[in-house]
Amino acid sequence: MKRREFIKYGAYGVTVVAFGSMVTIPQFIKVGAARLPNGGTLKLSMKEVLFEMVDKRPVYHWAFADAMHGPRIPGVMLMAREGEMINIALTNEMDEAHAFAIPGVVDSGPLAAGESRTLTFAAPRGGTYLYFDPLNAPVNRVMGLYGAMIVLPAAGNTPYSDPTPLVQGLFDALGDQGTMPEFFPGDAWDPARNWVWLFAAVDHKKNEMVRNLPAGQAIDPEVFLDGYLPQYFLLTGKSGFFSSHDPEIFPHGNIGQPAIIRTLNAGLATHSPHIHGTHLAQIAVDGVVAENPFSLDTWSLPPLGRVDLFHPFVAPLDAFPWPPSNILEFPMPFTMHCHTEMSQTAAGGNYPQGAVTDWEIRSPQVGGPEASEEEFPSFRGMDPAMFKRTSTAGRGSAGHVAKESGHGSH
C-alpha cells in the first residue's frame, strides 16, 4: 500500500485551516489561510516523511498531512471559533496504530494501519490547544505527530470565553486613551494579531532507531527515552536563521498594535523562552486563564506546556531617548530565544541555529495601519551599512531600495 513518493514539500512555516463561516473568522496570521465552510471536512493523514533539519540533515519523522498542504511538521494549524463544528477525516497511512487527540476535547482512539475514521467535535472554549498522537507516549508525538489549534471565543474582546477580572481589565484598557494613554497608546487587540511559537526538539539517533525497527513494531518508550539527547531545536517547524526570518513566526507591528503570542511545547525539553526589548503579560497557562497576569521577560515551557502571552507593543520602557533620532534604526528587531541555551545549537554547536526568532517594531508611529514595506523595508537590523550611517538623520535618498520583503523565506 506504500506509494513511492519523491515529492518535496517546502517547509514554509505555518499553514492554517480555518473552520466555519468566512465572516466569523478574522484574517489569521496568513492572508492565504485555507478556509473550510461550516460542515466542511479536513482530510488529515498520518504518514512517514524525511524532515530536513537546519543543516539539511534529513531525519526520519512521522507527520500529519492535510489534503491541501501535504505533510507538515507541525501539522496544519487548526483555527476555529468557539462552538463551530470541526470535522476531520483521519487516515492512518502507517504500519502501526496512530491517533489524534486534544486532551479534554477529543480523542480518536487508535486507528489501525490503513484505517480511516471521521471525527466531529465542537470547537471548545477560546484558547490555545495542542493536538497530537497520544499513543505509545511520548514516542508518537515526539516523532512529529503534533500541531496547534487556536479557538477564538464566541464573544468578547479577549482571547478567552471566560476571562478573569484582571485579564478582562487588561484588554478593556487597550486603545482606551482615557485610562492609560502612556502605556496602551494605540489600538485595541485585533484578533488577527496572533503568532504561534511551537517548540520541539529532535534526537535524530532515536528517530533512526525507530526507522530501523520492523514495520509495525512499536518501540518501547523506555528504550526511546533512555539516553534521549536532542540535537535539533525547532520553533514552529524551523530553526535558527529560518525561524528568525519567517514573518509568520516573528511578530511585527507598530507601537500600539498589541498582539498575542501563543507558545506550546511538543518536545521533551523544558524551555525557558526569553524575549528582548519588551516584557509580556502571561495571560494563560495550560489552558487556564491567569488570575494574576503578571509581566515577565522569560517564562517556563515544560513538555506539553501551553503559555499564552500578551505583547503590548509599547515603546521599549528603558530606552532613552525614544524614538531614536535615526529613523534607520527602524524596523527595529529584537531576538527571542530559549535561555536554556543548549536549545540554541544545532548538531552540537552552530549557535544560534536552534529555537530562536525575532520580533520587530515596524515603525515608531503609534497604532495601525502597520508601516508599509516601502516606508520601512525590513532590513531587520542586518544591514551592515546601517552602522556607517548612524549619525545621518532621516532615511534620505541613500539608495535603500526594497526589492522584496527581505524575509528570506520565499
Does position 327 bind other proteins by CB under 8 A? Answer: no
Q: Name the residue nearer to other proteins (CB basis): 85 or 386.
A: 386
Does position 5 bind other proteins by CB under 8 A? Answer: yes
Strands 252-255 and 356-366: parallel
124, 186, 253, 293: residue in contact with other proteins (rule CB under 8 A): 293
**Sheet of 127-132, strands arranged across:** 34-36, 16-19, 77-81, 146-152, 127-132, 101-102, 106-107
Q: Which residues in 122-151 contact other proteins (CB under 8 A)?
A: none
Decide: helix, strand or coil at residue 157. coil
Does position 69 bind other proteins by CB under 8 A? Answer: no
Per rule CB under 8 A, count of chain residues that contact other proteins = 135
Q: Name the residue nearer to other proteins (CB basis): 129 or 171.
A: 171
Does position 353 bind other proteins by CB under 8 A? Answer: yes
Tally of CB atoms within 10 A around 364: 18
Does position 295 bind other proteins by CB under 8 A? Answer: yes
24, 218, 340, 375: residue in contact with other proteins (rule CB under 8 A): 340
332 and 361 Cβ atoms separated by less than 8 Å: yes
Q: Name the residue nearer to other proteins (CB basis): 122 or 176.
A: 176
Q: Name the residue nearer to other proteins (CB basis): 22 or 387.
A: 387
Q: Which residues in 239-278 contact other proteins (CB under 8 A)?
A: 240-242, 244-246, 268-272, 274, 276-278
337 and 274 Cβ atoms separated by less than 8 Å: yes
CB hemisphere CA count around 390 (13 angstroms): 7
Give 16's contacts (C-beta < 8 A, 6+ positions apart): 28, 29, 30, 33, 34, 76, 77, 79
Give 221's contacts (C-beta < 8 A, 6+ positions apart): 136, 137, 138, 139
Query: In the bound complex, what is the minimum distance in angstroms from residue 15's beta carbon to other proteins?
Result: 12
34, 113, 154, 166: residue in contact with other proteins (rule CB under 8 A): 166
Distance of CA 127 to the CA centre of its chain: 14
Q: Which residues in 204-243 contact other proteins (CB under 8 A)?
A: 210-215, 225, 228-231, 238, 240-242
68, 351, 369, 394: residue in contact with other proteins (rule CB under 8 A): 351
First vs last C-alpha separation in the chain:
34
Query: In the bound complex, what is the minimum distance in angstroms from residue 345's beta carbon to other proteins?
Result: 5
- Dump strand ranges (E) for 53-174: 58-66, 70-72, 77-81, 85-92, 101-102, 106-107, 116-122, 127-132, 146-152
Does position 116 bind other proteins by CB under 8 A? Answer: no
115, 190, 286, 297: residue in contact with other proteins (rule CB under 8 A): 297
151 and 177 Cβ atoms separated by less than 8 Å: no
Does position 43 bind other proteins by CB under 8 A? Answer: no
Query: In the bound complex, what is the minimum distance in angstroms from residue 82's beta carbon to other proteins?
Result: 23
Does position 178 bind other proteins by CB under 8 A? Answer: no
Q: Name the residue nearer to other proteins (CB basis): 31 or 291.
A: 291
What is the Cα–Cα distance from 37 to 369, expressed in whole angstroms? Answer: 29
